[in-house]
C-alpha cells in the first residue's frame, strides 16, 4: 500500500473504503464514520476509532435535524461536534432541576396552607403596645 492508500483502508479481499464511500455516494460525515468503523480493528485503537465514528454520526444527525427545522443544510458555527448524547444529558439535568424546584415549591405551598393565617393589623393596632 502507499501513503495515499494505506493498508488500514483496504479489506483483505481488496475493497477500499473510498470505493464504499463512492459507491454509496456518502456525504463527508457519513464517509468519515464509515472510514473509522471499517478501520477500527486495523490500527490498534478500536475504541477511539469507534468513538470518532460515533462523533461523525452525531454530527450528521444534528445537521439533518437542523435542516428539517430551518431548511439550511449547514450547521451554525459551534454546533458541529456537540454530542447528541451530551445535549440529551443536559436536557435530563435541566428536567431534574425543574423537578426539584417543583417539589420545593409544592412543599412551600403545603407549609403555608398548614400555618394559621396571620391577622392583618390595622394602622391603629400597629401603634398599640401589647
Q: How many domains does the structure of the chain reveal?
A: 2
Range of 12's domain? 1-80
33 in any annotated domain: yes
* Residue 95 counted as domain residue: yes
- The pLDDT assigned to 6 comes to 63
The answer to whether 58 and 68 are in contact (CB under 8 A) is: no
Q: What is the pLDDT of residues 70-110, one digit of tens each?
A: 998 888 776 666 555 666 676 677 777 777 777 777 777 77
- pLDDT tens for residues 23-75? 999 999 999 999 999 888 888 889 999 999 998 998 898 889 889 989 988 88
CA dist., res. 73 & res. 120, Å (int): 63
Q: Is residue 124, in this structure, part of any structural domain at all?
A: no
Give the integer Cα–Cα distance in Å for 28 and 51.
17
Same domain, yes or no: 53 and 23: yes
The residue among 92 and 115 whose pLDDT is bigger is 92
- Is there a domain that residue 61 lies in? yes
Q: Which grid cell sits at 14?
A: 481488496
Q: How far is CA 36 from CA 19, 51, 79, 81, in A?
A: 15, 9, 21, 16
State the cell numbers at 123: 394602622
pTM of the model: 0.55
Q: Are 62 and 83 in contact (CB under 8 A)?
A: no
Q: Which three cell numbers stand for residue 42?
A: 486495523
Residue 43 belongs to some domain of the structure: yes
| Cβ(69)–Cβ(34) below 8 Å | no
Q: Let me know if residue 127 belongs to a domain.
A: no
Amino acid at each position: 500500500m502507499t501513503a495515499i492508500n494505506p493498508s488500514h483502508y483496504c479489506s483483505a479481499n481488496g475493497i477500499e473504503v473510498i470505493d464504499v464511500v463512492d459507491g454509496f455516494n456518502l456525504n463527508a460525515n457519513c464517509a468519515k464514520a464509515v472510514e473509522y468503523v471499517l478501520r477500527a480493528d486495523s490500527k490498534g485503537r478500536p475504541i477511539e476509532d469507534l468513538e470518532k465514528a460515533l462523533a461523525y454520526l452525531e454530527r450528521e444527525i444534528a445537521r439533518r435535524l437542523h435542516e428539517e427545522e430551518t431548511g439550511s443544510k449547514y450547521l451554525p458555527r459551534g454546533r458541529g461536534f456537540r454530542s447528541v448524547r451530551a445535549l440529551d444529558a443536559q436536557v435530563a439535568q435541566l428536567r431534574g432541576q425543574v423537578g426539584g424546584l417543583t417539589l420545593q415549591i409544592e412543599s412551600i405551598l403545603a407549609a403555608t396552607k398548614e400555618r394559621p393565617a396571620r391577622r392583618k393589623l390595622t394602622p391603629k393596632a400597629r401603634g398599640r403596645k401589647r
